[in-house]
């Protein structure tokens, strides 16, 4: 098997590339919200009094609480990434779960906040809201759209955390996968597993064209490269989560604090 | 260890390699950039032909006064559909998704793009977008009739199925973003040793500039269309004047994306042309850096000119003058490219092969389109010709005459590499004659019609426009004849033509050093790049390198 190295599936593992891709994606997210911030700026300029009044009707306490929750979750996310860097997977998972719970807490608060408003008939297209001045209709339109889109991002973040959890807990990993075109030169030969002294541990059948692929699955502790690739996944998820946080840092004063 | 070359059968192309799946799944589940490129190419060509068919029907309606073959409402739906198909399903994914996917890794000496699975996801999103767009035709209250621009407030009020059409555009935008993101990362991380940014082929540079526009402009369209959707579904009110919203703001947000989007459409075409010209002039490109930087300049300045779509929408004089000035500014980098192409041809040893012929047609038609763009960019003349056939003609000259013809050129230039077979060159020339005559008869007539005051998007015309409408319609028939001849010729060639060699045109970039069609992993050994991309050795002995 002197061609062994040639047949190993080439791994496209490029941490810097993954990070570049993530940053580019974050740019698109910023611009997605950028359009909404632009609308907010223009309508605030057009209807300052209405925005002022409508903002005073929001629940500043829940807003502030959510800000604290989200900031704390950013901290726990950063701690999870840090734990990965220090190779302590268990600690990272602990902080990841904590982040997940904080995110869920944020959504629960949001649910009660929206619920209260909707209960009072303040939601887009409602009879009640249409009686209000135009500035307030726009304020609440933007309020529901922007915090809604942000909430959607929180949900996506939680799904991402779920995947991270799965990837870090997974015990078995595909180490080598030989596609059919790599098997061609091996036709009629056997695969053998030996220990360091050359003693045979296991031998395969003869490889015929019936066999469509060979996979080597590792079980037990995560191999180093898998760990490294998980670390990059943690870093990228962390970047995303901080973006969600930063957007909220702007949403909070714009909706809750302009009247104070 | 002996080189692996002796044991692995080298000449197998990526078509022949057996993957994990077979049949259609071997394509739909493949992360190979070459297969994804070809899937895009086939899907887009199909929709291009559908869009052409709709265009022909619209022209037929206008051949005689009054209702000819369809009513006004049908006509409204057809021009919407024509726009949505041609813009979102054909020309925006266009050259990057088909030829960029296939050739970007080959040109920079990589085995694939940076994120192969993301690449496949882009294609799936494209398919999902297509499915949604098609289902918007057959479900609900009937196909959208707003035009591809979905202007508020009409798009908020019309009873037709705008919500689904808009959702389709949203999903397709996401697909476009992922392609751009993938290409930029690929160019930053996967260039072969020795290939610096300034040794990249200029097609890559154009894809790089395009990628940035895709990433930075498309999200704005995404959020704008999402707002139209939530407006229609729950009535948020941000664009609805009844609720205090401002429809002009919709136009701003829409064009903040959609003007840069025309550069998403045309920049890659300029890139392909920059590959074709040095190959058939048999000399290096003139002004490599000027062309590379002009791509980036177009991408940047193209961001700041969106207001020229709104000169008659009631924006202030100050902003109109600023936008007019910036519009003139963006013409400069395009002109830089044209002059550099011409300088490359000067004293070149020109070989008039089909790809070259289709390619240089771009220069003629795009120049007409570009110069009439300046008429539209000037405030005084724009008031006169705004929303007339003049705009339609200008747009088709730059998009169809520009990008469309280079798309054809790319099919003729790169197709033999992709499919491994050569088409009939004589027929390709004949098709070009039909295309060129038909195109000009159809669209140049529209310049005159527009100048005389024929408004766009009308299913009927005043009697004084009748003669010109007949000429345009006849032109559309000639054009379609050319398109049919060309595609039949290409299809027959790529299926049954004679085998194409590794380098049928004498190209100098890396994609011409691999097999035809390329092997699965592109390069058995990643090449080291020493020359600039368009290095044409002066004598035969030097060709060894």
Residues 6+ away with beta carbon under 8 Å from A27: B215, B216
Determine the residue of chain B that is closest to A212 in CA distance.
B20
Structural contact between residues A187 and A208, judged by C-beta atoms closer than 8 angstroms: yes
> Which of B504, B12, B51, B116 shows the shortest CA–CA distance to A182?
B12
- Asked whether residue B65 is domain-assigned, the answer is yes
User: What φ, ψ does residue B375 adopt, rounded to 5°?
Assistant: -65, -40
Q: Would the pLDDT of A10 be above 70?
A: no
B526 contacts chain A (CB < 8 A):
no
CATH class of A19-170+223-257: mainly alpha
Determine the residue of chain B that is closest to A140 in CA distance.
B236
Lookup: tokens for B534: 């368009």
Calculate ∠ Cα B451-B456-B459, nearest 5°: 125
A3 contacts chain B (CB < 8 A):
yes
Could you give the CA distance from residue B335 to residue B320 in angstroms, rounded to a whole number? 23
- Asked whether residue B10 is domain-assigned, the answer is no
Q: Residues A248-255: what's their mean pLDDT?
A: 96
- Asked whether residue B309 is domain-assigned, the answer is yes
- Residue A214 pairs in a beta bridge with A178
- Residue A195: pLDDT band with limits 50, 70, 90: confident
Could you give the CA distance from residue A104 to residue A107 in angstroms, rounded to a whole number? 5
B230 contacts chain A (CB < 8 A):
yes
Residues in chain A: 260
CB atoms B243 and A134 under 8 Å: yes
User: What φ, ψ does residue A173 adopt, rounded to 5°?
Assistant: -140, 140
Best of A28, A37, A138 to substitute, by most chain B Cβ atoms within 10 angstroms, is A28
- Residue B272 pairs in a beta bridge with none
Containing structural domain, residue B473? 19-544
Estimate the share of chain A in helix, then strand, then coil, as percent rounded to the nearest 5: 70, 10, 20
Best of A10, A140, A145, A187 to substitute, by most chain B Cβ atoms within 10 angstroms, is A145
Structural contact between residues B389 and B450, judged by C-beta atoms closer than 8 angstroms: yes
CB atoms B215 and A145 under 8 Å: no
Could you give the CA distance from residue A153 to residue B172 in angstroms, rounded to a whole number? 20
Cα distance from B7 to chain A (closest Cα, Å)?
6
What ipTM did this prediction achieve?
0.91
What is the tally of structural domains in chain B? Answer: 1
Q: Residues A140-165: what's their mean pLDDT?
A: 96
Nearest by CB to B181, from A21, A43, A123: name it.
A21
> Which of B366, B244, B524, B93 shows the shortest CA–CA distance to A139?
B244
CB atoms B18 and A145 under 8 Å: no
Question: Which pLDDT score is estimated for B22?
Answer: 82
- With beta carbons under 8 A apart, name residues in chain A contacting B215: 24, 27-28
- Asked whether residue B3 is domain-assigned, the answer is no
- Asked whether residue B512 is domain-assigned, the answer is yes
CB atoms B223 and A24 under 8 Å: no
Determine the residue of chain A that is closest to B212 in CA distance.
A24
CB atoms A138 and B237 under 8 Å: yes
Structural contact between residues A135 and A51, judged by C-beta atoms closer than 8 angstroms: yes
**Number of other CB atoms surrounding residue B263 within 10 Å:** 25
> Which of B416, B415, B383, B401 shows the shortest CA–CA distance to B446?
B401
> Which of B182, B284, B365 shows the shortest CA–CA distance to B533?
B284
Lookup: tokens for B251: 């136009």
Question: Which pLDDT score is estimated for A219?
Answer: 73
CB atoms A32 and B219 under 8 Å: yes
Question: Which pLDDT score is estimated for B334?
Answer: 92
Best of A9, A31, A117, A152 to substitute, by most chain B Cβ atoms within 10 angstroms, is A31
B246 contacts chain A (CB < 8 A):
yes
Q: Chain A 218-237, CB below 8 Å of chain B: which residues?
A: none
* DSSP 8-state code for residue B243: G
Per-residue pLDDT tens digits of chain B, which is 545 residues long: 333 333 344 568 889 887 778 888 989 999 999 999 999 999 999 999 999 999 999 999 999 998 999 999 999 999 999 999 999 999 999 999 999 999 999 999 999 999 999 999 999 999 999 999 999 998 888 899 999 999 989 999 898 999 999 999 999 999 999 999 999 999 999 999 999 999 999 999 999 999 999 999 999 999 999 999 999 998 888 999 988 999 999 999 999 999 999 999 999 999 999 999 999 999 999 999 999 999 999 999 999 999 999 999 989 999 999 999 999 999 999 999 999 999 999 999 999 999 999 999 999 999 999 999 999 999 999 999 999 999 999 999 999 999 999 999 999 999 999 999 999 999 999 999 999 999 999 999 999 999 999 999 999 999 999 999 999 999 999 999 999 999 999 999 999 999 999 999 999 999 999 998 999 989 988 899 988 899 887 644 544 44
Could you give the CA distance from residue B129 to residue B178 in angstroms, rounded to a whole number? 14
Region label for B66, one of left (φ > 0), alpha (ψ between -120 and 50) or beta (otherwise)? left
CB atoms B181 and A36 under 8 Å: no
CB atoms B114 and A184 under 8 Å: no
Whether omega before B517 lies within 30 degrees of 0, making that bond cis, reads: yes
CB atoms B224 and A35 under 8 Å: yes
Structural contact between residues B302 and B263, judged by C-beta atoms closer than 8 angstroms: yes
Best of B223, B232, B525 to substitute, by most chain A Cβ atoms within 10 angstroms, is B223
> Which of B107, B331, B298 shows the shortest CA–CA distance to B210?
B298
Q: Would the pLDDT of A6 be above 70?
A: no
Residues 6+ away with beta carbon under 8 Å from B157: none
Determine the residue of chain A that is closest to B242 in CA distance.
A134
Question: Which pLDDT score is estimated for A11?
Answer: 54
CB atoms A138 and B238 under 8 Å: yes
Residues 6+ away with beta carbon under 8 Å from A233: A164, A167
Structural contact between residues A235 and A63, judged by C-beta atoms closer than 8 angstroms: no
Could you give the CA distance from residue A30 to residue A244 in angstroms, rounded to a whole number? 10
CB atoms B181 and A43 under 8 Å: no
Structural contact between residues B70 and B61, judged by C-beta atoms closer than 8 angstroms: yes
Q: Chain A 186-205, CB below 8 Å of chain B: which residues?
A: none
> Which of B91, B427, B405 shows the shortest CA–CA distance to B272?
B405
Could you give the CA distance from residue A114 to residue B338 in angstroms, rounded to a whole number? 57
- With beta carbons under 8 A apart, name residues in chain A contacting B246: 42, 46
Question: Which pLDDT score is estimated for B147?
Answer: 92
B114 contacts chain A (CB < 8 A):
yes
CA dihedral (A57, A59, A60, A64) in degrees, to 10, reads -150
Residues 6+ away with beta carbon under 8 Å from B442: B59, B396, B472, B475, B476, B478, B479
CA R_g for chain A: 26
- Residue B455 pairs in a beta bridge with B388
Lookup: tokens for B427: 């027929």
B244 contacts chain A (CB < 8 A):
yes
**Number of other CB atoms surrounding residue B464 within 10 Å:** 10
- With beta carbons under 8 A apart, name residues in chain B contacting A40: none
Where are chain A's structural domains? 19-170+223-257, 172-221
Q: Would the pLDDT of A199 be above 90?
A: no
B6 contacts chain A (CB < 8 A):
no
Lookup: tokens for A210: 């019936």
User: What φ, ψ does residue A193 adopt, rounded to 5°?
Assistant: -115, 125
Task: Give whole-number Cα distances, B424 to B298, B355, B431, B489, in Å.
Answer: 37, 12, 11, 7
- Residue A2: pLDDT band with limits 50, 70, 90: very low
- Residue A202 pairs in a beta bridge with A193
Q: Chain A 86-145, CB below 8 Å of chain B: which residues?
A: 123-125, 130, 133-135, 137-138, 141-142, 144-145
A156 contacts chain B (CB < 8 A):
no
CA atoms lying within 13 Å on the CB side of residue A146: 26
> Which CATH number covers residue B50?
1.20.210.10
Cα distance from B174 to chain A (closest Cα, Å)?
10
B496 contacts chain A (CB < 8 A):
no
Structural contact between residues B182 and B119, judged by C-beta atoms closer than 8 angstroms: yes
Whether omega before B153 lies within 30 degrees of 0, making that bond cis, reads: yes
Task: Give whole-number Cα distances, B238 to A142, A151, B226, B257, B322, in Å.
Answer: 8, 19, 12, 18, 26
């Amino acid at each position: 098997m002197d061609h062994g190295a040639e047949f190993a599936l080439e791994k496209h593992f490029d941490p810097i590339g993954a990070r570049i891709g993530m940053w580019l994606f974050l740019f698109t997210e910023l611009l997605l919200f950028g359009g909404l911030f632009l609308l907010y700026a223009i309508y605030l300029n057009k209807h300052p009094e209405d925005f002022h009044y409508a903002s005073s009707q929001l629940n500043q306490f829940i807003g502030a609480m959510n800000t604290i929750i989200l900031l704390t979750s950013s901290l726990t996310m950063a701690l999870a990434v840090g734990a990965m860097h220090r190779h302590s997977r268990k600690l990272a998972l602990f902080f990841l779960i904590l982040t997940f719970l904080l995110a869920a807490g944020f959504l629960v608060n949001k649910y009660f906040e929206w619920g209260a408003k909707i209960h009072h008939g303040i939601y887009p297209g409602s009879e009640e809201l249409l009686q209000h001045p135009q500035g307030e209709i726009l304020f609440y339109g933007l309020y529901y759209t922007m915090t809604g889109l942000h909430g959607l991002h929180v949900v996506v973040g939680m799904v991402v955390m779920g995947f991270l959890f799965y990837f870090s807990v997974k015990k078995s990993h595909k180490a080598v996968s030989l596609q059919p075109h790599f098997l061609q030169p091996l036709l009629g030969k056997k695969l053998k597993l030996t220990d360091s002294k050359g003693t045979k541990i296991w031998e395969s059948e003869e490889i015929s064209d019936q066999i469509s692929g060979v996979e080597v699955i590792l079980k037990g502790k995560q191999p180093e490269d898998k760990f490294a690739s998980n670390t990059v996944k943690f870093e990228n998820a962390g970047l995303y989560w901080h973006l969600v946080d930063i957007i909220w840092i702007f949403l909070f004063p714009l909706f809750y604090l302009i009247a104070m | 260890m002996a080189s692996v070359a002796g044991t692995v059968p080298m000449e197998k192309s990526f078509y022949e390699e057996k993957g994990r799946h077979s049949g259609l799944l071997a394509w739909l589940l493949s992360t190979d950039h070459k297969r994804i490129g070809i899937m895009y190419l086939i899907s887009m060509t199909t929709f291009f032909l559908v869009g052409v068919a709709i265009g022909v029907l619209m022209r037929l309606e206008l051949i005689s006064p009054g209702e000819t073959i369809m009513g006004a409402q049908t006509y409204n739906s057809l021009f919407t559909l024509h726009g949505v198909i041609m813009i979102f399903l054909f020309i925006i994914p266009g050259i990057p998704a088909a030829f960029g996917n296939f050739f970007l890794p080959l040109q920079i000496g990589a085995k694939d793009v940076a994120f192969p699975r993301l690449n496949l996801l882009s294609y799936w999103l494209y398919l999902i977008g297509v499915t949604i767009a098609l289902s918007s035709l057959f479900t609900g209250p009937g196909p959208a009739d707003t035009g591809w621009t979905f202007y508020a407030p009409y798009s908020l009020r019309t009873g037709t199925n705008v919500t689904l059409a808009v959702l389709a555009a949203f999903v397709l935008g996401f697909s476009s973003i992922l392609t751009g993101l993938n290409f930029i990362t690929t160019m930053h991380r996967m260039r072969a040793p020795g290939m610096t940014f300034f040794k990249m082929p200029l097609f890559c540079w154009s894809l790089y500039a395009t990628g940035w526009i895709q990433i930075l402009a498309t999200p704005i369209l995404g959020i704008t269309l999402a707002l139209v959707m939530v407006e229609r579904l729950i009535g948020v009110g941000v664009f609805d004047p009844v609720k205090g919203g401002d429809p002009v703001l919709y136009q701003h947000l829409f064009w903040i994306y959609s003007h840069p989007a025309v550069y998403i459409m045309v920049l890659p075409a300029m890139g392909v042309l920059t590959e074709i010209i040095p190959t058939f002039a048999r000399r290096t490109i003139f002004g490599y850096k000027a062309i590379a930087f002009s791509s980036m300049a177009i991408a940047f300045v193209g961001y700041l000119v969106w207001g020229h779509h709104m000169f008659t929408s009631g924006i202030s004089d100050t902003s109109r003058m600023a936008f007019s000035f910036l519009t003139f500014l963006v013409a400069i980098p395009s002109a830089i490219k044209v002059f550099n192409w011409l300088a490359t041809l000067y004293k070149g040893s020109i070989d008039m092969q089909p790809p070259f012929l289709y390619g240089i047609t771009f220069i003629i038609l795009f120049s007409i389109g570009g110069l009439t763009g300046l008429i539209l960019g000037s405030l005084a003349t724009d008031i006169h010709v705004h929303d007339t056939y003049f705009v339609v003609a200008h747009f088709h000259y730059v998009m169809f005459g520009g990008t469309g013809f280079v798309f054809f050129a790319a099919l003729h230039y790169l197709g033999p590499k992709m499919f491994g077979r050569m088409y009939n060159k004589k027929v390709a020339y004949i098709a070009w004659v039909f295309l060129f005559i038909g195109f000009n008869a159809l669209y140049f007539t529209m310049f005159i019609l527009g100048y005389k005051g024929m408004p766009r998007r009308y299913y009927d015309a005043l009697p004084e426009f009748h003669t010109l409408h007949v000429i345009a319609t006849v032109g559309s028939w000639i054009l379609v004849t050319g398109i049919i001849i060309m595609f039949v010729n290409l299809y027959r060639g790529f299926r049954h033509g004679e085998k194409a060699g590794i380098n049928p045109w004498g190209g100098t970039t890396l994609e011409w050093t691999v097999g035809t069609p390329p092997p699965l992993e592109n390069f058995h050994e990643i090449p080291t790049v020493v020359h600039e991309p368009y290095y044409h050795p002066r004598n035969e002995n030097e060709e060894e390198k």
